[in-house]
């Protein structure tokens, strides 16, 4: 997400200024790995273009690549259990909650979606994983078809 923002700022100066990104996870181990921003060759070869690799990563001198500081500075990481309140995280224009809801019961999915809706600014967007849907779980969003994919806009 941060790389996409930086690329957009380069192409369209003045657009997307003051962007901040908050990444959350329940696992402190995962949060530490994300903060380090170090990736092995397998991860680097998962759809990352040669240009992005060249512009946004540095050799870590151990066979892995390290995300450059200008990308890392855009992101903060916080521990968050999706079953708990999100109020302390603040309000957001966009929330990505990808490939997480599939692990919850319908009741818990509905609770999580309600909490997400409460943290979105008016007209904010929610992006879910490709195999996830709001079907019967929340009436707080309108579905927006994108090419490719689907987003959900807060009513």
Q: Is residue 147 over pLDDT 90?
A: no
Top CATH class of 85-155 equals: alpha beta
Q: Which CATH architecture has domain 1-80?
A: 3-Layer(aba) Sandwich (3.40)
Average per-residue pLDDT for the chain: 94
Instruction: Count CA atoms closer than 13 A to 88's CA, side-chain side.
Output: 8
Question: What band does 102 get if pLDDT is binned at 50, 70 and 90?
Answer: very high
Ranges of CATH 3.40.50.150 domains, the chain: 1-80, 85-155
Identify any residues that bridge with 25 across adjacent strands, giving them in sequence order. Answer: 79
pLDDT in tens, 38-58: 999 999 999 899 999 999 999
DSSP H helical segments within 20-143, as ranges?
28-36, 41-44, 50-56, 69-72, 106-119
Question: What band does 11 get if pLDDT is binned at 50, 70 and 90?
Answer: very high
Q: Name the residue among 42, 31, 80, 73 with its Cα closest to residue 56.
A: 73
The continuous run of DSSP H or E covering 3 comes out as: helix 2-11
């Amino acid at each position: 997400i941060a790389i996409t923002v930086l690329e957009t700022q380069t192409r369209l100066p003045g657009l997307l200024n003051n962007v901040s990104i908050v990444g959350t996870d329940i696992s402190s181990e995962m949060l530490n790995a994300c903060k380090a921003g170090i990736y092995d060759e397998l991860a680097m070869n998962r759809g990352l273009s040669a240009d992005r690799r060249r512009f946004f990563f540095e050799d870590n001198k151990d066979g892995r690549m390290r995300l450059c500081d200008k990308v890392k500075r855009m992101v903060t990481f916080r521990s968050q259990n999706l079953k708990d309140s999100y109020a302390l995280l603040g309000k957001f224009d966009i929330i990505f909650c990808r490939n997480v809801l599939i692990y919850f019961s319908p009741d818990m999915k509905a609770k999580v979606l309600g909490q997400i809706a409460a943290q979105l600014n008016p007209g904010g967007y929610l992006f879910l994983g490709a195999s996830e849907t709001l079907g019967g779980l929340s009436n707080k969003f309108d579905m927006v078809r994108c090419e490719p994919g689907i987003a959900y806009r807060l009513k």
